[in-house]
Amino acid sequence: MQPAFVEFDLGFFPLMWILYFITPALSINGMVHRLPWGKHPMQLAPGGYNFQAWYPYLFSSQTSLGQLYLDLHPGCSYKIKYRPAWIVLLGGSMKLTEQPMLPSATAQPRPY
């Protein structure tokens, strides 16, 4: 089975200059990766994934947490963008910015 291609864009607004000195974390289904700010392409097996991103700051190990659940399809490409909140106590933003067009027969709402 073909892998899915995901590009993570971990970034922040330049006026939040203190974040240049902090390394963010990216969690993929609970597996934590310490990555520098920037774009990171990855190949992942198709299936359901829970993505989370945050950075450590002062007394909190998970500041400005952003989270996204996504079903990856074989051979498809996705782009995910994480941005921390302007105020440290608020949650971050994690959005799907690019995804493949799927036939209507395979695009189904996820039951909760």
One pLDDT digit (tens) per residue for the chain, 112 residues:
899 999 999 999 999 899 999 999 999 999 999 999 999 999 999 999 999 999 998 887 889 999 999 999 999 999 999 999 988 788 999 999 987 765 554 555 556 5
Which CATH number is 4-98 given? Answer: 2.60.40
pTM over 0.95: no
Amino acid found at 11: G
Residues 88 and 67: their CA atoms lie apart, in Å, by 16
Instruction: Give the distance from CA 39 to its chain's centroid.
Output: 11
Domain boundaries in the chain?
4-98
